[in-house]
Structure 1
Amino acid sequence: MKFRVLNCLFTLVTSLVIGNTFAADLSQKDLVQIFGEEFAAKQSSINKIIKAPPEVAAEVLAALQDESLLSDGKVVVIKTNEGYLDPISHVIVKIDESSLETPNLNNILRSDIETAASQFKLLSKDPEIREQSLNSLMADMSGLNVAIVKSAKEKESNAGLITKFNELIAMLDYPSSNEEDKIKAIQTMGNSSSAKVQEFLKGLLKKNDAGEFIEPNNTLRVAIELALRDYQSRKSRSEIVSNIFTGLSLGSVLLLAAMGLAITYGLIGVINMAHGEFLMVGAYATFIIQSIFRAHFPGALEYYLVFAAPFSFMASAMLGLVLEYLVLRHLYGRPLETLLATFGVSLLMMQLVRVIFGAQNVEVANPSWMSGSFMPFQSIFPGLLIPYNRLIIFFFSIFVVFITWLVLNKTRMGLFVRAVTQNRTMASCVGVKTRQIDSYAFAFGAGIAGLGGCALSQIGNVGPDLGQTYIIDSFMVVVLGGVGQLAGTIIGAFGLGILSKFSEPFIGAVLTKIGVLVMIILFIQKRPQGMFALKGRSAEM
């Protein structure tokens, strides 16, 4: 039972240390008031519970939250597995169950109980519970008992939580402190990364109804303004780092989407409008593997992505091989017909997916090791939030780039691909089977797009229109970086990603896309070959 766990958190030492700061022990008469009809009496009863010794208060408050605190109008008991427990004497009592009822509490009283219970969670053995309690109490300090906070802080061993305890205590003690202690409190709060603490400081600079500053001391107001200015400076740095990371995250997705397109476009010059659908196939392949693991290997569901990634690559690569064999190889050298044909294939693939999986998005869940986020260097970058899934996808894209570089530069097939890209006629003259290389390279590029779809399934919705979101951006990356250039694709993808994320807060997502497109058009006017161009006999990949 929850109240049993909480009760164990409060030891005899706790009672001895802070017991003298609380009112007299609770009585049954005090508890019975909460079952009455008068709102004021109920509030008075809750206040008496809060002021009781912590081991008693925690048990009663937890029972109120669990709706296991019952009364027959004369005696209040807590329902347990062993029977009905008297919260005052801690003995099992016999009572007529038919006469028991729960208290009638409105939202105001429930909020008071929740706030009060949060105080006692500060003494929990679980650091996550203590942190949640601290965050909750910083947001609402009404009715907070300073003695409990200070006692919990003395027992805290986690450095990060000690800092939060100091910030909370600084806010609580500020109104009653002298000028010297207030300066120290302002310094403590000024170094905080919590927005709630900064709101508290801003509140001190406001004026009351009489037109007077809430903090009348001019010296203290200057200290508060300096502390807030320092916080804003750190917050600006945090926003810059956040935009850079978000841009790199978007760039990693664009990189996975555009890398295969750069290879195939540079090799055979095909404007493949169905390339986005290879992303979609990779995402749905991930969904299929997840469904198989859920149905047959639920214990290993955390590791389904390890199998989904190669399956996504193979599914998209095989589809690319079929598309190249049935459609594209018959249209080489005819760019307009190829564009129209691949656009038709794109529509066909989307409709086929709607028939098989339905028009609605499907759910692809993150494994636990990709869920959540962390907040690094909060003293330097307050509020900076790094999601695990985007961080892992960034490193995954770097890994895929490395594997692609190895394939193109350290394998026989890669040598042939670079030779055909540089000079198809000469490569054919020395015995390279150019048609076969076209097929393999197209399948490889489609497979990379499938890996991109696998990654996209972890950060967004998976639906039939998934590929259409990224196809235009992928072409822009390829054109900007240079046709067939791996290095240009990397720089173009990350550059566009970062530029987009820095621009969106100022001009919006739509105008950002228009601005990026105009910028690329102007750039191509001056440098048609893109940032990187093939030179001599080296593909420079």
Structure 2
Amino acid sequence: MPEKIEALAATGDPAVVPLLEALAEGNLYFRKSDNFVFLTKASGSNLSLVDPVSGETVGEEAKGALSKIKVNNNLRRTIRSLLGGLTLLSPDRTVRLSAADAVLKSPSAENLGLLETAIAKETDTVVRMRMETARAVSILGSDRIIDEKRQAIEMISDKIGGRDAAGILMGASATIDPALKADLDAAISRIESTQQLWDMTQNVWYGLSLGSVLLLAAIGLAITFGVMGIINMAHGEMVMLGAYSTFVVQDIIRSNAPNLFDWSLAIALPVAFLVTAIVGLAIERGVIRFLYGRPLETLLATWGISLILQQAIRSIFGPTNQEVGNPSWMSGSFPLGGMTITWNRMWIVAFSLSVFFALLFLMKKSAFGLQMRAVTQNRRMASSMGIRTPWVDAFTFALGSGIAGIAGVALSQIDNVSPNLGQSYIIDSFMVVVFGGVGNLWGTFVGALSLGILNKFLEPTVGAVLGKILVLVLIILFIQKRPRGLFALKGRAIEA
């Protein structure tokens, strides 16, 4: 029986696939009267007969008129292995690619002949490369000559790479020919060295990803702290309001226009900016403008406002996390060498950079940016030159709050949307601003990315909590040496 099955599979004819599948599943019968073989399907108390060559239904028979062709577990495993090889010859590219992946995961020396036949016929570059890799893995467990196995080790090391390749080669080390031990060890060592570099690169990426989140959360705080000297403890709640604005927009879209869901974040961005900018303007006009020059009272007032906003959100939306979905273009991930990059993180990094450079352009090239910088450097001189400093303060606070709101839109894609969302980022945001230099955008940029990368390199060694403590200690020590941060603002009033 095994020889006949292997002979059928060796033909490479895709028409053999249904026959072998039926045999493995116990659906292959022969008719007792003439020994004709049929694929069968249940049809009431009878069995419907299907011609194994044409695939056409040719009638029905009582179960007693037929006899099942029985197979044991060993034969069933052989059939499964041969089926994986047979689908390598399918006319469908997706089926061939899946078959190559299946052989790669469960290599078998029996599939080598079919793999080589399929490789010779394959015209698609991607599928061919996958088949050649599967062939190399299968060769390691075969009785092929040493030179072929040596070439297979090199291909596994070069084409698969990473932990998967190291696992395959380590698994083969117990049964490999002693003459190949040195080649195997060298390949494993090379893979591990390369993987260490990729792991370091992955940590840098994680650090940049975390840094971009910190940049989004801190950039609005940097301009309000720098221009107005306000310690705004409600800044985290602006981030939280932006995230809830995203939730509301998505909820409305789900109910009324589900086909627009992929555009939900684009719609949520201006909504979140306007909502939080208006709330920020109201806070500045209603509370903060009466407290300039009194930093302790400002800190206490904004802390009280943050508690009010948190409780208001709890009363409206409840204390539990709210679901904010990922649009299709932010879902999933893609490999890049020996690391994996998720689409949502990549888009957040790109979005953070876009916000940063847009704000930088506003500060450097617009009349409002010029007035803002003038007030930052010398408030009294700016006022004497006709700049309405109270309104600059008000619109600066609104702008900072609006930027925090669009930060909330981004954070809703990677964090839980809850009334406490802002509390997770407010301390880190202040650390970024102080470390980079109060009111300096480039300082905020460098500070956010530096702290993000430092955190991600410390976490694997000392843990997340102790890593944050060490970062805080390092910032305190740094501020002792440079009280104005990395990039200190310059101006007569500041230096005085």
Q: For the superposition of Structure 1 and Structure 2, which TM-score range results when normalised by the shorter chain? A: 0.7 to 0.9
Q: 2:17 matched to which residue of 1?
A: 58
Match of 2:57 in 1: 92
CA distance in 2 between partners of 1:375 and 1:390 (Å): 13
Worse overlay, 418-427 or 155-164: 155-164
Q: 1:308 to 1:50 in 2, by over 3 A?
A: farther
- Which digits, 9 at most, give the CA deviation of each residue in 1:312-368, with x for residues without a partner? 211221121122222222222222222222222222222222222222222222222
Deviates more, 1:302-311 or 1:444-453: 302-311
Alignment of 1:154-165 (within 5 A): 154-165=120-131
Contact 1:70 1:78 in 2 (8 A): no
CA 1:182–1:371: 2 relative to 1, 3 Å: same
- In structure 1, distance between residues paired with 2:186 and 2:89: 34
Q: Deviations along 1:126-179, whole A, 9 cap, x unmatched?
A: 655544443443232358633333333334344344333222211212331212
Between the aligned partners of 2:74 and 2:424, the Cα distance in structure 1 is 47
Which residue does the alignment assign to 1:152?
A: 118
Aligned-partner Cα distance in 2 for 1:316–1:113: 64
Contact 2:89/2:96 (<8 A) preserved: yes
CA shift at 1:124, angstroms?
5.1
SS in 2 for 1:533: coil
- The C-alpha deviation readout for 1:14-54, integer Å capped at 9, x for no partner, is xxxxxxxx9547xxxxxxxxxxxxxxxxxxxxx89977865
Matched, 1:237 2:197: yes
Verify: 1:396 aligned to 2:356, yes or no.
no
Identify the match of residue 218 of structure 2 among 258, 261, 264.
Answer: 258
- Residue identity opposite 2:431 in structure 1: M
1:61-140 mapped onto 2 (5 Å cutoff): 76-78=39-41, 85-95=50-60, 118-123=84-89, 130-140=96-106
Q: What residue identity is the alignment partner of 1:145? A: N
2:136 aligned with 1:170: yes
Pairs within 5 Å for 1:86-485? 86-95=51-60, 118-123=84-89, 130-141=96-107, 145-174=111-140, 175-191=142-158, 192-193=160-161, 195-206=163-174, 214-218=175-179, 220-376=180-336, 378=337, 383-485=338-440
Task: Give the superposition deviation at 1:120.
Answer: 4.6
Label 1:184 to 1:71 Cα distance change in 2 as closer, same or farther (>3 A). Answer: closer
Cα displacement string for residues 259-287 of structure 1 (whole angstroms, at most 9, x for unaligned residues):
00000011111111111111111112122
- The separation in 1 between residues aligned to 2:257 and 2:208, in whole angstroms, is 34
Q: Which segment is superposed worse, 410-419 or 299-308?
A: 299-308
Query: Letter of the aligned partner of 1:506 in structure 2?
Result: T
| 1:104 Cα deviation from its structure 2 partner | 13
Work out the CA distance in 2 between the residues paired with 1:467 and 1:104: 65
Runs of 5+ consecutive residues of structure 1 not aligned to the other structure: 1-21, 26-46, 207-213
**Counterparts of residues 502-513 of structure 1 (less than 5 Å):** 502-513=457-468
Question: Aligned partners of 2:73, 2:281: CA distance in 1, in Å?
Answer: 63
- Aligned partners of 2:308 and 2:58: how far apart in 1? 73
Aligned residue number for residue 476 of structure 2: 521
Deviation per residue, 1:453-490 (Å, 9 max, x gap)? 11112223222221111111111000000000000000
Whether the 8 Å CA contact 1:70–1:79 is kept in 2: the answer is no
3-state SS in 1 of match to 2:463: helix
**Which secondary structure state, in structure 2, belongs to the residue aligned with residue 466 of structure 1?**
coil
| Cα distance in 1 between the residues matched to 2:254 and 2:324 | 11
Cα shift readout 1:273-305 (whole Å, capped 9, x = no counterpart): 111111111112122222222222222322222
Identify the range of structure 1 (398-407 vs 103-112) with the bigger mean alpha-carbon deviation.
103-112
How far apart, in 2, do the equivalents of 1:453 and 1:108 lie?
Answer: 58
Q: Which range is displaced more, 152-161 or 460-469? A: 152-161
Say if 1:251 and 1:221 are closer, same or farther in 2 by CA, change over 3 A.
same
Q: Which amino acid aligns with 1:172?
A: S
The CA distance in 2 between the partners of 1:110 and 1:529, in whole Å, is: 73
Aligned CA distance change for structure 1 residues 96 and 276 (closer, same or farther; 3 Å): farther
Shift of the alpha carbon at 1:427?
1.4
Q: Which of 111-120 and 324-333 deviates more?
A: 111-120
- How many Å separate the matches in 2 of 1:169 and 1:299? 45
Amino acid at match of 1:184: Q
How many matched pairs?
480
Following TM superposition, the consecutive aligned residue runs of length 4 or more in structure 1 with deviations greater than 6 angstroms are 47-52, 61-65, 70-74, 96-100, 102-116
- C-alpha spacing 1:518/1:355, structure 2 compared with 1 (3 Å): same
1:33-52 matches, within 5 Å, as: none
Counterpart contact for 1:290–1:364, Cα < 8 Å: yes
Inter-CA distance 90–127: structure 2 relative to 1 (3 Å threshold): closer
Question: Are 2:10 and 2:114, in contact at CA under 8 Å, matched by a contact in 1?
Answer: no
Partner Cα distance (1:333, 1:96) in 2: 96
Q: 1:217 to 1:514 in 2, by over 3 A?
A: same
C-alpha spacing 1:103/1:182, structure 2 compared with 1 (3 Å):
closer
Q: What is the CA–CA distance in structure 2 between the aligned matches of 1:261 and 1:106, rounded to whole Å?
A: 70
Seen in structure 2, the aligned counterparts of structure 1 residues 519 and 154 have a Cα distance that, compared at 3 Å, is same
* Aligned mates of 1:108, 1:472 — CA distance in 2: 62
* Distance (whole Å) between structure 2 residues aligned to residue 163 and residue 335 of structure 1: 66
Matched letter for residue 112 of structure 2: V
The answer to whether the 8 A contact 2:222-2:441 is kept is yes
Distance in 2 between residues matched to 1:389 and 1:260, nearest whole Å: 22
1:55 aligns to what SS in structure 2? coil
1:97 and 1:398, CA in 2 relative to 1: closer, same or farther beyond 3 A? farther
Question: How far apart are the structure 1 equivalents of 2:460 and 2:111?
Answer: 42
User: 1:41 matched to which residue of 2?
Assistant: none
Letter in 2 for 1:179: I
The AA in structure 2 aligned to 1:203 is: G
Q: Once structures 1 and 2 are overlaid, which stretch shifts more, 454-463 or 256-265?
A: 454-463
Which deviates more from structure 2 when the two are superposed, residues 490-499 or residues 299-308?
299-308
SS in structure 1 at match of 2:40: strand
Aligned match of 1:209? none
TM, length-normalised to structure 1: 0.79
The letter for the 1-side match of 2:176 is E
Q: Which amino acid aligns with 1:307?
A: I
Q: Which residue of 1 aligns with 2:35?
A: none
- The one-letter code matched in structure 1 to 2:352 is S
